[in-house]
Structure 1
Amino acid sequence: MLVVAVTFLALLFSAGLRSAPGVMMLPLELHFGWDRATISLGAAIGILLYGLVGPFAAALMMSIGIRRTMLAGLALMAVSTFASQWMSAPWHYVLSWGVLSGIGSGAVASVLGAAVVNRWFATRQGLVMGLLSASTATGSLVFLPVLAWLSQGGAWKPVALAVSLGCAVLIPLVAFLVPERPEQRGVRRFGEAADTPPPAPLKQAATPWLAIEALRRAARQRVFWLLAGSFFVCGLTTNGLVGTHMIAFCGDHGIAPVAAAGLLSLMGFFDLIGTTASGWLTDRYDPKRLLAVYYGLRGLSLVALPFIDFGGLSLTIFAVFYGLDWIATVPPTVKLANQSFGERDAPIIFGWVLVAHQIGAAAAAFGAGVIRETAGTYAPAFVISGVFAVLASLVFIRGLGQWGRPLTPRAA
């Protein structure tokens, strides 16, 4: 389906933008003399806003439409990264790659995938969400080696220009190829019966305030806090840590940036397989049990990483094992949101869950940089994040019977 293909590309380029700071970290350090904690702060702000914008973007998709929200996000990403070529102070980097690109990429993030899936698919939602979620890993697969090659010799401006042009190219594709609803193409949602009644109208106008109202309703349910807490750990153990610092961590062990980017690309390739398979499994098995397995395996791999020899074979094994689980958590998390809050509200609620994800990612992006500056090694950061993932797995195992219970008794 064309709308899925274009959405996949948009998510792919958004992921490429968010992976670029990891490639630019060493060149910016060499060119400007900024310390790693300062550069990590800009990346952390971008990661945080990437998540914080999500629920409001989901509400905008219900009001001004999916296509217009995508266009606004892509335009802001293109402009902010293009303008960064003239930055000369740390606050320029924080503004362009942190604040502005964070807001833009937040409009073209996982909430977009959830909104498209719920609007266009009545069945196979887990599989399609897995495919769209995998696009973030595919973004690393496609972009990181190219961006790392562009950054050879300490160059960073070609990286900014490549990301900007990529986002700009997508704008006309979205404008002309993404319909707002299936009815505009004369079709129903995939798998929807012909006698299915149309969705009930909203009880209130779909404004950004709807995101706040949805959060107030969701916060009364235990399932929301379990999803948000687990996704905090998800962010702590993926893009905030590995996505931002893995190239620099490899550099500490004498591995060139291009080779380290290739390692991340290998993770991306196997995540494309793992997350798509996770979507298929989510359509068939209990998503809570899947999440318990995913977090446990991820945590063990991160705890083990600092103690391997960083040879070619060891890193390849880690990349394959970790890559299969990179963001396999997304399809079961979206399914639990759909089951708990309904398909209309679920994209907004998932947006708030994604906020927790990005808070965790921002904490890892900044915290790992600080740990590296103070301890001289990234090892404690990887061990700590791995322990958190194992704890999240245990919470899922122990709390299976608590899902869906309200935090306060319902009125009779």
Structure 2
Amino acid sequence: PFAAALMERFGIRAVTATGLVLIGAGSALTVLVTQSWQILLTWGLLIGLGTGSMALVFAATIANTWFAKSRGLVIGILTAGSAAGQLVFLPFIAMLAQDPGWRQASLLIAAGALAVVPLVLKFLKNSPADVGALPYGETEPEEQPAEPSADAVEPGRSSNAAVRALQVLKRASKVRTFWALVAGFAICGATTNGLIGTHFIPSAHDHGMPETTAAGLLAVVGIFDILG
């Protein structure tokens, strides 16, 4: 919710570029890590903030901003991109981490994230209006309300992105559907990212399976993610 509020406040392009910079910085600084708390700072904080700001909220924001119809299909295609990345890059990164080493793999991730930043700044637009177009599926522009004054704030709505996100969460918490979605995503996150994504490769390695083979098997999950 906080990333969505930031995208609404500062634009999709700025938040996405910032997220990529955080991922690049966190991954690059990992090669300098000498203590466990530094891992929490680089991967836990920096990379966590970066990836979190471009997770499902990115797909939902793009779909709602650029499309007036087929939004569910658009979100499905965009989220399938994450699974496709897992399928394509995970075995390669695992092979690189094994030889020449994990530091080179981490630096490659950093370089890849930072290399995309100029492309985002140049080509990613915040809304169809930026290119003089309408959202896909919309035939007539929606009537725009009268432009409020610079100091005007909608009653009950804060101009602060973090406060607004908390306000939305408070309203959503009163709806049963919200809690059903929370339960579903909690189970999905605990089983896929929490268990399989985190522990599968180390567990397979402990049982004698090469890391690259384990990474290849984990990448197969991406195939079924795309189909799903």
TM-score by length of 2: 0.90
Q: CA RMSD in A?
A: 1.9
CA distance in 2, matches of 1:63, 1:153: 44
Say if 1:120 and 1:181, in contact at 8 Å, map to a contact too.
Answer: yes
CA distance in 2, matches of 1:153, 1:184: 46
Does 1:119 find its partner at 2:65?
Answer: yes
Partner of 1:222: 176
Deviation at 1:159, TM superposition (A): 1.6
Deviation at 1:197, TM superposition (A): 3.2
Pairing partner for 2:195 from 230, 241, 244: 241
CA spacing shift, 1:121–1:199, aligned 2, 3 Å: farther
CA distance in 2, matches of 1:196, 1:149: 51
Which residue identity does 2:110 align to in structure 1? S
Does 1:96 find its partner at 2:50?
Answer: no
CA spacing shift, 1:153–1:67, aligned 2, 3 Å: closer
CA spacing shift, 1:148–1:199, aligned 2, 3 Å: farther
Report the count of equivalent residues. 220
Which residue identity does 1:58 align to in structure 2? A
Does 1:80 find its partner at 2:26?
Answer: yes
CA distance in 1, matches of 2:179, 2:110: 36
Which residue identity does 1:159 align to in structure 2? A
Which residue identity does 1:108 align to in structure 2? M
Which residue identity does 1:257 align to in structure 2? E
Say if 1:78 and 1:167, in contact at 8 Å, map to a contact too.
Answer: yes
**Higher helix proportion (structure 1 or 2):** 1
Unaligned runs of 5+ in 2: 148-152
Residues 336-362 of structure 1 deviation map (CA, whole Å, 9 limit, x = unaligned): xxxxxxxxxxxxxxxxxxxxxxxxxxx
Deviation at 1:198, TM superposition (A): 4.2
Pairing partner for 1:251 from 172, 195, 205: 205
Q: Matches of residues 204-215 of structure 1 in structure 2 within 5 Å?
A: 204=157, 205=159, 207-215=161-169
CA distance in 2, matches of 1:158, 1:115: 34
Say if 2:84 and 2:226, in contact at 8 Å, map to a contact too.
Answer: yes
In structure 2, the residue corresponding to 1:191 is in which secondary structure?
coil
Partner of 1:272: 226
Which residue identity does 1:188 align to in structure 2? L
In structure 2, the residue corresponding to 1:255 is in which secondary structure?
coil
Residues 77-101 of structure 1 deviation map (CA, whole Å, 9 limit, x = unaligned): 1112111111111111111111111
Deviation at 1:153, TM superposition (A): 5.2
Partner of 1:188: 134
Deviation at 1:133, TM superposition (A): 0.9
In structure 1, the residue corresponding to 2:161 is in which secondary structure?
coil
In structure 2, the residue corresponding to 1:254 is in which secondary structure?
coil
Unaligned runs of 5+ in 1: 1-54, 275-412
Say if 1:123 and 1:190, in contact at 8 Å, map to a contact too.
Answer: yes
CA distance in 2, matches of 1:78, 1:221: 38
CA distance in 1, matches of 2:50, 2:206: 32
CA spacing shift, 1:181–1:200, aligned 2, 3 Å: farther
Partner of 1:139: 85
Pairing partner for 1:105 from 51, 72, 76: 51
Residues 135-176 of structure 1 deviation map (CA, whole Å, 9 limit, x = unaligned): 221121122111111111582101210110110011001000
CA spacing shift, 1:270–1:85, aligned 2, 3 Å: same
Say if 1:60 and 1:207, in contact at 8 Å, map to a contact too.
Answer: yes
Amino-acid identity (%): 40
Partner of 2:120: 174
Partner of 1:328: none
